[in-house]
Structure 1
Amino acid sequence: MPSHIMLSYQWDDQALVKKIHDRLKDDGLPVWMDIEGGVTGNINDSMAAGVEEAVVICPFMTPAYQASRSCKKELNYADTREVIIVPAMLTNNWEASEWLGLITAGLLWVDFRNAQKDEEHFEMCLRSLEEEIMFNAGHLLAVEEPQREQVDQPEPSKPHLKKKPGRGFRHALSKLYIHESGEQIIPPTEDSRNTVELNETAGDHCYWVEIKGDGCKYYRNVVTNRYLGFDPSRNQVHSEVSPAASEEWLMLVDLTDQSHQRAVIMKNKHSGRFLAVHNGHFIGLTSYNEDCKWFLE
């Protein structure tokens, strides 16, 4: 049975990926890297076994990775085996294209640009990677309690990694969460839409299961099982029992953000509007500004 997280990288980035490998291992995640005992005997057989035993593969994307025949073989093989792909971006002002762009299209990559700026940046990038891995495959991985050395004054222990029930969306400026109220819109619409509100605190009603659609994603509330939607005619966010065109979303990495806090942009596919918050209220904007930034939690 597949059991580990495979790190796929181009040789120039080995030092950074080795550092990531060591930290993932320290935090209790089963991780595989070629230079850490992953390759024995025939290199092609070993790399194939690395893919075949992978629950998740993390490609560390750079122009050199895209140009590498070996990296292409690894990721193509993982894709054909339907291994979960959690990409990480290492390069500023560049985006994947050709075969790499095709395989990673629509996937939310983790921002490791400028990760080596300082240790604080690296820690935030690492935490984002761990959270994205756990979101996608936490139910498939055997995560161990991190082993900590006994010292006179131990450091505060990190929370044990566990899979969250869904995605939480916190607005970057207002700090408010997307919250399913469970209350019907008054006056009721023909399709019995419920109101979706902004809430100051996170809770179960603020988590949304991500479901892949045809060139889009749907978000279903973990408590009410209703789907997040947007009505441009009312400039109103709502939920419905079953997904339709107004519940189709595109979620993109916010390329302008340098905080490494998993910043994303949510765009309603049907209306073309960016989901934003202004003066404490939802609003749909035709072009991006800072009101459109959300952090994943």
Structure 2
Amino acid sequence: MRDSSVHPFFGKAVIAPAGHNSSSHCARTHQWDDQALVKKVYNRLKDDGLPVWMDIEGGITGNINDAMAAGVEDAAVICPFMTPEYQASRSCKKELNYAESREVIIVPVMLAENWEASEWLGLITAGLLWVDFRNAERDEENFEMCVKSLEEEIMFNAGHLLTVDEPPREEVDQAETPKICLKKKPGRSFRHALSQLYIHESDEQLIHPTTDSRNSVELSDTRGDQCYWEEIKGSGCKYYRNVVTNRFLGFDSNRNQIHSEASPSVSEEWLLLVDQTDQSHKRAVVIKNKRTGKFLAVQNGRFTGLTSYNGDCKWFLE
């Protein structure tokens, strides 16, 4: 039997992980003008097996502050659907501030074109990778890609907290798209948008004048186990540790060289940002070294660091 007290929370919807002993879930928070889109997303996530809860489905009863607090307290993830109206909402501010104070995982969703979160919302979501829903309603193909991105980001951040239902086995027409099976990936893999190559950890040791602990990092045309990187939160940055070798992705600006090291240092501090110029909804990102400010790029089949952004700096999360 599903434990209805645990789920993720979205704008006004919560995804509840079943079979979890502690109170936790994923929730969506939104401003009421966006209710139709959020409801559509809610229905799709539910159909794909994610345990979801939404206040318009009967979740909010009695005192609204008590109900919002209960929703947050039971959440494993909260997904704010960000717009200027959401930022101006006192209720949304109260809800998301409370979620942050309880260290609930936050997966932001961006709805507004040509706008960036600021004030309290910008502070809470700074450094977080938002999911791009800016053109989700353009057509069904865009909506499907947006939902896929959201599901993958939820599973990446909270897959270990959520019990996902297997899609029902039904007799369907051969032409119909089969139900997807949501599973938590071991880490993030990065595919370069132009070359289609993956960031791959190598076992080859680099000769370095001050250290012998560096290994080379290469580009691979196939995604193997050593192409997955675990994301570890740092101070205003992320560290990326290979899931197989447990070594950290780093950048040597003097040699313009990507490498891996056994333990993290300032050269292994990265910023992962949404590529706001991309319109493909393929989870396009920019990887920036925090220490040098250089963008991780690929040119002529080789890694390089660039001081300004261009198309060589675009990566897809897979």
Q: Same fold (TM over 0.5)?
A: yes
Distance 1:90 1:152 in 2: 34
**Contact kept? 2:132, 2:146, Cα under 8 Å:** yes
Whether 1:173 and 2:229 are equivalent positions in the alignment is: no
The separation in 2 between residues aligned to 1:189 and 1:195, in whole angstroms, is: 16
1:93 maps to 114
User: Is it true that 1:33 corresponds to 2:54 in the alignment?
Assistant: yes
Does 2:183 match 1:199? Answer: no
Name the aligned partner's letter for residue 140 of structure 2: E
1:3–1:30 contact (8 Å) kept in structure 2: no
CA deviation after TM superposition for structure 1 residue 160, in Å? 1.4
Partner of residue 211 from structure 2, selected from 179, 186, 190: 190
Cα distance 1:143–1:280, how it changes in 2: closer, same or farther (>3 A)? same
- How far did residue 7 of structure 1 move? 1.0
- Structure 2 regions of 5+ residues with no counterpart? 1-21
Residue 71 of structure 1 aligns with which residue? 92
Residue 18 of structure 2 corresponds to which residue in structure 1?
none
Alignment-derived partner of residue 81 in structure 1: 102
CA contact (8 A) 2:110 2:133 kept: yes
**Aligned equivalents of 1:187, 1:67: Cα separation in 2:** 53
1:217 corresponds, among 232, 238, 251, to 238
Q: TM-score, normalised by structure 2?
A: 0.91
Query: 2-side partners of 1:226 and 1:172: how far apart?
Result: 24
Q: Distance in 2 between matches of 1:63 and 1:144?
A: 35
Within 2, Cα distance between the matches of 1:188 and 1:141? 47
Q: Aligned partners of 1:94, 1:11: CA distance in 2, in Å?
A: 19
For residue 292 of structure 1, what is the aligned residue in structure 2? 313
Match of 2:154 among 123, 133, 138: 133
Inter-CA distance 72–184: structure 2 relative to 1 (3 Å threshold): same
Answering whether residue 253 of structure 2 is matched by residue 232 of structure 1, we say yes
Distance in 2, matches of 1:152 and 1:208, equals 38
Query: Residues 176 and 153 (structure 1 numbering): CA distance in 2 closer, same or farther, change over 3 Å?
Result: closer
1:130 to 1:40, Cα distance in 2 relative to 1, 3 A? same
Which residue of structure 2 aligns with residue 108 of structure 1? 129
Shift of 1:64: 0.1
Structure 2 vs 1, CA of residues 66 and 187 (structure 1 numbering), >3 Å: closer, same or farther?
A: closer
The structure 1 residue matched to 2:281, chosen from 250, 260, 277, is: 260
Q: Aligned match of 2:138 in 117, 123, 134?
A: 117
1:273-294, Cα deviation, whole Å (9 max, x unpaired)? 1000011110100000000000
Structure 1 length as normaliser, TM-score? 0.97
- Name the residue aligned to 1:42: 63
Deviates more, 1:154-163 or 1:234-243: 154-163
CA 1:142–1:294 in 2, change beyond 3 Å: closer, same or farther? same
The answer on whether the counterparts of 1:177 and 1:199 sit within 8 Å (CA) in structure 2 is yes
Q: Which amino acid aligns with 2:182?
A: L
Per the alignment, residue 75 of structure 2 pairs with: 54
The answer to whether the Cα contact below 8 Å between 2:272 and 2:285 also exists between their aligned partners in 1 is yes
Q: Do the aligned partners of residues 30 and 186 (structure 1) sit closer, same or farther apart at CA in structure 2, a change above 3 Å counting?
A: same
Fraction of identical pairs, as percent: 78
CA RMSD of aligned residues (A): 1.3
Q: For residues 167-209 of structure 1, what are the alpha-carbon distances to aligned partners after superposition, in whole Å with 9 as ceiling and x for unaligned?
A: 0000000000000011101467524210000000001100000
**Given the superposition, is the C-alpha separation of residues 153 and 284 from structure 1 closer, same or farther in structure 2, using an over 3 Å criterion?**
closer
Equivalent residue in structure 2 for 1:159, among 176, 180, 183: 180
Query: 1:148 Cα deviation (Å)?
Result: 5.6
Equivalent pair of 2:205/2:212 in contact (CA under 8 Å): no
C-alpha contact (below 8 Å) 1:62/1:90 kept by paired residues: yes
The 1-side partners of 2:254 and 2:173 are apart by 62
Shift in CA distance, 37/149, structure 1 to aligned 2, threshold 3 Å: farther
Count of residues in Structure 1 that have an aligned counterpart in Structure 2: 297
Change (3 A) 1:279 1:81: same
Contact 1:191 1:240 in 2 (8 A): no
Q: Secondary structure at the match of 1:22?
A: helix
